[in-house]
Copies of this chain bind each other. A is one copy, B any other.
Amino acid sequence: MTRASVVGAGMTTFGPHERTLAELFAEAAFKALDDAGATNDRIDAFYLGNTLGGMTENETHLAPKLATHVGITGVPAQRFEDACATSSNAFKHAVQAVENGIHDVVLVGGVERCTPETGLDTPRMTEIFASASDKQYEQPAGITFPGVFALLTNRHMHEYGTTEEQLASVAVKNHANGQHNPHAHFGKETTVEEVLESPLIADPFRLMDCCPFSDGASAVVVTSSDAADSFDSPVDVKGIGHATGTVPAADKESLTATQPARDAAASAYEQSGRSAADVDFAEVHDCFTGAEILATEALGFFDDGEGGPAAEAGRTALDGEIPVNPSGGLKAKGHPIGATGTAQIVELTTQLRGEAGDRQITDAETGLAHNLGGDAGTTLVTLMEARA
């Protein structure tokens, strides 16, 4: 079953921007509308992802504010916040709304500012990012997200023998892809040596194992699949899985399984009638190199413990058997928290239309997006397909 279709997609470049949230969002929204060939009077609901705006900008009630700014005042507008999975969840609700006839043509987008352009310094931003970790047990202990994912990755190294070189190979691949993405925060290649020589952040992660936090926005126009027939280049949503897991990390049954990703993937595969073997490429949530390795196992691309060797062997490269993060991923494209989920949908749309230029996956027909929040306590997995 086709559930809904993306008929327009747009995003800003990711990286430092000297612009307001409203200005950033408007660029992405108008690009998405232009891409759809739609004017804003066609939009009958608005689904917004923004994670940190209260803390970073003293901005709440952003959905009607941004709706006003892009000329879609009056429609039902809602803001979602689910840590780094924020705008994927907005997208899920938009898809559910059009497939159930609640709305016809909706705008979904995410926007965030995280760089020093906010006027906030690194200690304050670090505290803000830590808001997604457990308040009672994790925040007082001073564990921030490099530490959380370092715990998961260290356990993976212990159980399966995953190496620092394998982690580094993820960064090298994603930077190689990102150089072909004009929207990427980082447009340059790196090497395993450069990664391994970068400063240690949280063992085993070095600076170059970590994604940057970026400013940016992304947006898509979503319609029912029937309504999509009247648009030029629809791409179909076949399934969206959404699952959560225990927070804090210490209470998880397994640190390496990222169970919500497995549950969400199983749901997306079941909804779409597809399996991991059918997926031609994936955008996964590589906030840290280790997170990508865990994700490729949780999604069923590789057996548990095989993610590291697979990355090192080039099996996830642009010309590999299952290309992962052709956009450059969070690692090279950047990570404006609330904009990341819909940016993955933008990349899926671009690839499935065959419009990805130098980073185009050959014969891309089925794409998957994996977007996690917090310590992987939230995960959404979306499966999309090109029209025949």
Contacts and interface: CB of A to CB of B under 8 A. Distances in A.
A263 B77 CA distance: 13
Among the interface residues A102, A132, A373, which one has the most CB atoms of the partner chain B within 10 A? A132
Contacts of A83: 60-61
B89 A78 contact: yes
Contact of A82 (B55, B61, B377): B61
Given A55-B55, A81-B79, A244-B75, A378 B63 contact: yes
A97 interface: yes
Contact of A61 (B57, B77, B373): B373
B96 A61 contact: no
A133 B65 CA distance: 9
Given A76-B244, A243-B74, A81 B59 contact: no
A67 B246 CA distance: 8
A51 interface: yes
Contacts of A291: none
A60 B81 contact: yes
A58 B129 CA distance: 9
Contacts of A38: none
Interface of A: 20-22, 51-52, 54-55, 57-65, 67-68, 73-83, 89, 93, 96-97, 100, 102, 127-128, 130-136, 139, 242-247, 251, 260, 263, 373-374, 377-378
29 contacts: A20-B136, A22-B136, A52-B54, A52-B60, A55-B55, A57-B135, A58-B127, A59-B135, A60-B81, A61-B83, A61-B132, A61-B133, A61-B247, A61-B373, A61-B378, A62-B81, A63-B378, A64-B244, A64-B247, A64-B374, A65-B134, A65-B135, A68-B251, A73-B244, A77-B82, A81-B81, A96-B96, A96-B100, A100-B100
Given A61-B377, A81-B81, 15 more contacts: A21-B135, A54-B55, A55-B58, A60-B81, A60-B131, A61-B82, A63-B82, A63-B244, A64-B247, A64-B377, A64-B378, A68-B377, A74-B243, A74-B263, A79-B81
